[in-house]
Chains A and B, each alone.
Chain A
Amino acid sequence: MTFELVLVLAAGLFSVGLFGALSQQSIVMIMMGIELMIGGVIVAAADFWHFLAPAAADGQVVIVVAVVAMAVEMAMGFAVTTALYRARQVDTTDMARELKG
């Protein structure tokens, strides 16, 4: 039963992260939301690994990839934000609409 519960935990983390990403205006908060979503993925991966395929290392590879993705996402996110901020003092997504249709 714990398998499903941990998955629910993962879904919960993912959903809260999603809510944060969708509702927050500040770029930093959105990135925090995304970090939470990836955290959810990591929990799910560990759960799958632990309860479904412990013999194979694929679950762990997914976690490694997720962790790397988290790191890359944060690095690139802050790089873009820095460039954008330096260009126009923009710190919320609402102000950065240039790519509008």
Chain B
Amino acid sequence: MEAVSLWGLGVVALACAVAVFACDSMARATFALLGSLVCVGGVVFVLGLPYLGVVTVLMMVMEMVVMAVFMVAYMMNPAGLMPMSMLHNKRGALGISAAVFASLTGAVFLVDWPQRRGSPPRDTTFQVGKALMGGQMLTMVVLGFVLLATMVAATVLALHRGRYDRLGDDLDRCPARDPAGGGVGR
């Protein structure tokens, strides 16, 4: 059962992956990517990591929807109505990725992988949770800070207005003229 599902998900994932760069419409590309990544989530789910699988799906869906928003914002031809090739150096890229794929598959089959050690615990979610909160606390902390830094940096980069523009030149304008609405007391 597991092998069949793995095969199925694998093939669909690869197909969607190829579709991402094959189709003209950016929306279709985005949701092909979503499909591919959902299959990845499925593979992870099938490989005995239910929590991580579903979380991956959950995250990928939200990411792809947000990407769709940006895709519409920044793509010249989001709907792919005027097909034009946005590619360059196609042969080079193809060559390199083929080489990489060949070397990786070569490695996969040449390296004699060690035997499995130990057996999966009953509740893998509990295992990862315990590890993150225990032995890998440093990783968790680092991830936390990285996410915080990303939030702040992304906001700062994306915002058109500075943090103090709304307070005027002498930082004393009241009420602050803020282009973005909302905010308590306004």
B128 touches A35 (CB 8 A): no
Q: By DSSP majority rule, is chain A's interface helix, strand, loop, or mixed?
A: helix
Q: Which of A8, A28, A67, A94 contacts B105 (CB 8 A)?
A: A8
Task: Provide the residues of chain A in CB contact with B74, threshold 8 Å.
Answer: 26-28, 81, 85, 91
Q: Which of A23, A52, A92 contacts B21 (CB 8 A)?
A: A23
B70 touches A22 (CB 8 A): no
Task: Provide the residues of chain B in CB contact with A36, threshold 8 Å.
Answer: 17, 20, 33, 36-37
A23 touches B90 (CB 8 A): yes
Cα–Cα, bound, A3→B121 (Å)? 19
B88 touches A23 (CB 8 A): yes
Cα–Cα, bound, A57→B48 (Å)? 12
How does the 8 Å CB contact mask read for B1-45 relative to A, with 1 for contact and 0 for none? 011001100100110011011000010011001001100100110
Could you name 24 residue pairs across A and B whose Cβ atoms are closer than 8 Å?
A4-B109, A6-B6, A15-B100, A16-B17, A23-B89, A23-B94, A26-B26, A28-B67, A29-B26, A36-B33, A39-B36, A43-B13, A52-B114, A52-B116, A55-B117, A57-B127, A61-B128, A64-B132, A68-B143, A68-B146, A68-B147, A74-B66, A75-B151, A85-B74
A residues apposed to B, CB below 8 Å: 2-9, 11-20, 22-29, 31-33, 35-36, 39, 42-43, 46-47, 49-58, 60-61, 63-65, 67-68, 70-72, 74-76, 78-83, 85-86, 91-92, 94
